[in-house]
Structure 1
């Protein structure tokens, strides 16, 4: 029997592997390339029906005697994320086959995250069914899927079911994460803070990190002392989440000051965000702003201001004269911060001074020589200065390469018009070994991405096809959220551009860890060429954005990129 869905994914991948210049198809053209409309008769045809967004074709498979068909069909319902299918998914949570129950649990979570929200009654019913299934479920994989789902469904039964999981030894980190997501998405789980706190000092760092993540969203002031201890944890992810959580509840921003000098970047970023949140909460509560609050809020605001300024200036060509005002601005903030610190007996302004040095290094990189960096404040860690200085020659060389490659490459990228949707060329089924990694040669170095053809075959094939067409060559990383994501693939450079077509979402429970590559969206089924890479764990993206790959080389380099850094060239390479 013809493997329709694999044919489609392979069609796109083959065009890349062979260098054929075919246009990536539109959603309508993709539908025409797969199985003809009608009832799905095998699991691959079920997946093709999902791609067509042909809900009616799934109906027979949902009651098929073959559990593989039922599992594929309910997986499809989850990817379609239609609120009206919640009742069907509820029924399949009690299927006799474990694989069907597992897929139904994931589908329940995905429908709970639907872009078209469930009505409260349907949400409560879905959560109640998932909670009841969790009590009965004995297989580990299906139980884990139910725990994952309950954090996304919302509903009155979700929090009690997750708290019961905390009383055992299995799926505890997942349950803690789901409790945090319940609070984030649905404002639920307010009474869970004490149970979460009991797990905050677990020997397992993943459990401690998940507890800190939950406390970010529970926002319980009674946990201030606990969080002030967690920010000294030996695990950087625990410290980062705890810093963010502490900023939501503390009225003593000085608790976070020491983290501005943490050796791990994500911790420093979350400390800055926490300080900014603390400043905002204090103003809202009418608390008099102390000198340390002013100083730390100034640092956090400078962090965000510098990011915005760099994004703007680097998009305009990363010229030294554009960066110099930013460096001077940050240098001007230093005396104010130092005076504020002295008034309250604090250690000083190391965080802001370090930020100034990083901006100075960016200026030196644009000039191709070390100059502004030598004027950094004496309070800055010499190791940081040495690291920044050591990076300048290589980065300057990359910038020179970008300029040499032509201002032509950037100009072509800026003028590139989205390709109009078109029908795919009729290609034969290619060999299945044509897949491979994507390597991005950037102005700062090389990044290797390994794609996940099993979880997201369309997104992976689309990405390879765009790479083979040279679509990404010369495009900039236009968005940077420190400690969260870096994003690129937009020919317009403002977050609104794309290739002229959209691909369907392929959402699932894949974790968004550090280095996960996802499809950027502006709503359901609106992905195209824009992609992002997570710089830290981001559980709230799971089930909402298609995860289609991971960075396997060059992750440290990504953490040094700035908005405006470019993809000089993207190429396909066989997986090592």
Structure 2
């Protein structure tokens, strides 16, 4: 029967209705799925906010966070464990040790046992607890007995770790919290492959940084690992060799060190540039560069500037005459290629620093003159680089003259480089003994009268040189200048003076420098490290410079000691307070006991920790029984005055755009690991805080650092942030392009940020990482001290 038009119309209506119904069903399903995804994102957002707020309350939240650990593995439990590690202290460690020993149960444990790394797969309870214990140890050194307990528990956990991820995480924690007894277990993991073996090599390198000596067998296994097929393992093992602690009693035998030398020279030819750079650095650190000069001279021409920078440091440090001549020639040879490879300015300036005291060598002098003549070539690539080139090359040539005109160095950077930065070149020349005593005094006086506090602070380390060339009264006057600066309200000037006092007031058993009876003088400040020569020439077996033996100078040093104790009693800045309290502790100054006891209640872990060590040192030689209980009587922690939601926006991430005078750098921020720090970046950027600030610190093949409103390294936004470092579970790798926050100790970061030139494993677990450069690493490679941020902005994605 034929279908009538009416029937066909009805059929079409039914078909359309069914189609619409189906589409609606699909849309409904998608809508439900979308709502479910939004609900999940919002729930995670609330959870992360809850944990971050608890972290900011520090020890007051330990009980609540501990309660979140029980049950099967979950994101909640993992975040709570991480928070406890960041907070630290006996109660948090006890909770984490219990969690480390607990078996994983339930569906979450089944997912974790598959070594899943997706967002829906939380880490095992064992891995979360181990990672947190490692972070706790990296942030704040535990007492020896606590460290032993943690190390033993981690070794046991390593035997239970059933997946590569869990094993790598436990191994990483053993690097941060393990004792020397754990090294056999770590070395055994080097024979494996992949992330586990890499983690073992890095852990052994961290033991070196912690001054735990290696056994001969461990050293041999690390040396062998430098030649393995895995590039990541080769880099880790090479880095570990650069960090090995080499105390005299445990120094490698000649044959062992010959094996290390051969391995490192071989790595100078590695296919990976970071491995080559690490090998050059290791040769310098192990004082083997003098036996590898030909290979290092070849490395000076490496296409990767980071390798050439490390080779320049190694050759310069070795002091080999032929090597120095070759370094000068290599520096001059960089000039024609700067247009094509502008990061070569890092090699040029580093080479000039290494040649500072060798301008009297004919080959070096000829190269320096050539470099000065080519300054316009550098100017075209980097005006700031050209200024540094002029200053450093002129200083090297002047220092070789019998009676150099040191005044000519003042302002050598012209308009491109403020005196606040170039003053270091002048001070180094004075510290080297260049020029007459009168010329040195004249130029330092000029710096000390400058209106810029950064210039005055830079000049202070030269005062001992002036004291050494003065009579007794003159030497005492130089010490009085330091005393005045110690009491200065300008934090940067006071900080420089406090650091200098640590070098002036030595620990010499037969000298009493305490302002009250009962104290003994002490040796070497906590922040020593100025170039040799800044303290005058040593005399006799004690190493005490002669000017200190004179009556007026000795009396002035006593007054300096009293000034340090007085400032310690009132200092609130964590960095300055920590240095002052360490000064008191190292010299056993009984007059400082009350200051240390009072500071032990400070909310800053830096201040409170230094105070606890000070009290222990002054009461019973640092015994465990005299060590104040961490957090006992402490002022409660206060959350930063920042809107936390900015750091962990639901369903989106932030991109930070830094526009510099060399171009733009784009950084992907990660609020899931460091919500307080990311929130701070966003808030400060929106206020224009970072606009116009200089990069005040650059260490080639390490970091570029900025974000200090004082452009001195001692400034911040007026508040501090809770430390938020991570572990392997957070992808916490300080590799090339990683962006982190600087601090002066736990919970003392503020606004200063840095970006990496190369991998730096020793920063991992200690400094908060906020993101990764996504575009503009070539710009980062060109930045020098004195370059600047033109503007900064954030974009939500």
Instruction: Find out whether 1:113 has 2:138 as its counterpart.
Output: yes
Match of 1:55 in 2: 61
Match of 2:71 in 1: 65
Conserved 8 A contact 1:438-1:450: yes
After the TM superposition, which residues 239-254 of structure 1 pair with which residues of structure 2 at under 5 Å, given as runs?
239-247=276-284, 248-250=286-288, 251-254=290-293
Match of 1:511 in 2: 733
After the TM superposition, which residues 149-298 of structure 1 pair with which residues of structure 2 at under 5 Å, given as runs?
149-170=173-194, 171-191=196-216, 192-218=218-244, 220=252, 221-222=257-258, 223-247=260-284, 248-250=286-288, 251-255=290-294, 256-279=296-319, 290-292=320-322, 295=325
Instruction: Find out whether 1:132 has 2:350 as its counterpart.
Output: no
Residue 43 (structure 1) shift: 6.8
After the TM superposition, which residues 1-20 of structure 1 pair with which residues of structure 2 at under 5 Å, given as runs?
none
- For residue 524 of structure 1, the aligned residue among 738, 746, 768 is 746
Instruction: Find out whether 1:89 has 2:96 as its counterpart.
Output: yes
528-537 or 227-236: bigger deviation: 227-236
Instruction: Find out whether 1:546 has 2:768 as its counterpart.
Output: yes
79-88 or 449-458: bigger deviation: 79-88
Match of 1:393 in 2: none
Distance 2:157 2:172 in 1: 13
**Length-normalised TM-score, structure 1:** 0.70
Residues 94 and 542 (structure 1 numbering): CA distance in 2 closer, same or farther, change over 3 Å? Answer: same
Match of 1:287 in 2: none
Residue 224 (structure 1) shift: 1.0
Match of 1:145 in 2: 169
Match of 1:75 in 2: 82
Residue 66 (structure 1) shift: 5.4
Residue 533 (structure 1) shift: 0.4
Distance 2:773 2:795 in 1: 14
Matched position secondary structure for 1:113: helix
- For residue 129 of structure 2, the aligned residue among 90, 104, 111 is 104
- Show CA shifts across 1:326-348 (max 9, x none): 999989977826269xxxxxxxx
Distance 1:372 1:498 in 2: 26
Distance 1:232 1:439 in 2: 36
Matched position secondary structure for 1:133: helix
Distance 1:372 1:74 in 2: 48
Residue 273 (structure 1) shift: 2.4
Distance 1:442 1:546 in 2: 23
Residues 299 and 135 (structure 1 numbering): CA distance in 2 closer, same or farther, change over 3 Å? Answer: farther
- Show CA shifts across 1:521-561 (max 9, x none): 01211111110001100000001100011111000111111
- For residue 662 of structure 2, the aligned residue among 416, 422, 444 is 444
Matched position secondary structure for 1:480: strand
CA RMSD of aligned residues (A): 4.3
Matched position secondary structure for 2:180: coil
Residues 339 and 515 (structure 1 numbering): CA distance in 2 closer, same or farther, change over 3 Å? Answer: closer
- Show CA shifts across 1:414-445 (max 9, x none): xxx9xxx9966899999735642111111111
Residue 476 (structure 1) shift: 0.8
- Show CA shifts across 1:120-161 (max 9, x none): 222122112111111121022221110111111131332111
Distance 2:98 2:360 in 1: 65
Residue 71 (structure 1) shift: 2.9
Residue 489 (structure 1) shift: 0.6
Distance 2:686 2:101 in 1: 45
Conserved 8 A contact 2:242-2:283: yes
Distance 1:427 1:95 in 2: 34
Conserved 8 A contact 1:276-1:301: no
526-535 or 63-72: bigger deviation: 63-72
Distance 1:328 1:189 in 2: 33
Distance 1:428 1:254 in 2: 52
Conserved 8 A contact 1:90-1:129: yes
- Show CA shifts across 1:190-209 (max 9, x none): 43110011222111211111
Matched position secondary structure for 2:308: helix
- Show CA shifts across 1:205-233 (max 9, x none): 11111111111122652311221111111
Match of 1:16 in 2: none
Matched position secondary structure for 2:167: helix
540-549 or 248-257: bigger deviation: 248-257
Conserved 8 A contact 1:448-1:554: yes
Residue 47 (structure 1) shift: 3.6
Conserved 8 A contact 2:647-2:682: no
Distance 1:367 1:136 in 2: 58
Conserved 8 A contact 1:360-1:372: no
Match of 2:537 in 1: none
Equivalent pairs counted in the alignment come to 459
Residues 426 and 458 (structure 1 numbering): CA distance in 2 closer, same or farther, change over 3 Å? Answer: closer
After the TM superposition, which residues 414-493 of structure 1 pair with which residues of structure 2 at under 5 Å, given as runs?
432-433=650-651, 435-493=653-711
- Larger relative contact order (CA 8 Å, sep ≥ 6): 1
Residues 444 and 195 (structure 1 numbering): CA distance in 2 closer, same or farther, change over 3 Å? Answer: same
Residues 366 and 257 (structure 1 numbering): CA distance in 2 closer, same or farther, change over 3 Å? Answer: closer
Distance 2:71 2:156 in 1: 25
Residue 55 (structure 1) shift: 3.4
Distance 1:328 1:86 in 2: 45
Residues 154 and 353 (structure 1 numbering): CA distance in 2 closer, same or farther, change over 3 Å? Answer: farther
Distance 1:526 1:300 in 2: 42
Distance 2:662 2:306 in 1: 20
**Length-normalised TM-score, structure 2:** 0.52
Residue 507 (structure 1) shift: 0.9
Structure with bigger gyration radius = 2
445-454 or 244-253: bigger deviation: 244-253
Residues 43 and 518 (structure 1 numbering): CA distance in 2 closer, same or farther, change over 3 Å? Answer: closer
Residue 181 (structure 1) shift: 1.1
Residues 556 and 66 (structure 1 numbering): CA distance in 2 closer, same or farther, change over 3 Å? Answer: same
- Show CA shifts across 1:425-473 (max 9, x none): 8999997356421111111111101101111111111101111111111
Conserved 8 A contact 2:644-2:679: no
Distance 1:181 1:460 in 2: 27
Mark the runs of 5 or more structure 1 residues left unpaired by the alignment. Answer: 11-34, 36-41, 280-289, 303-323, 341-348, 378-398, 400-410, 412-416
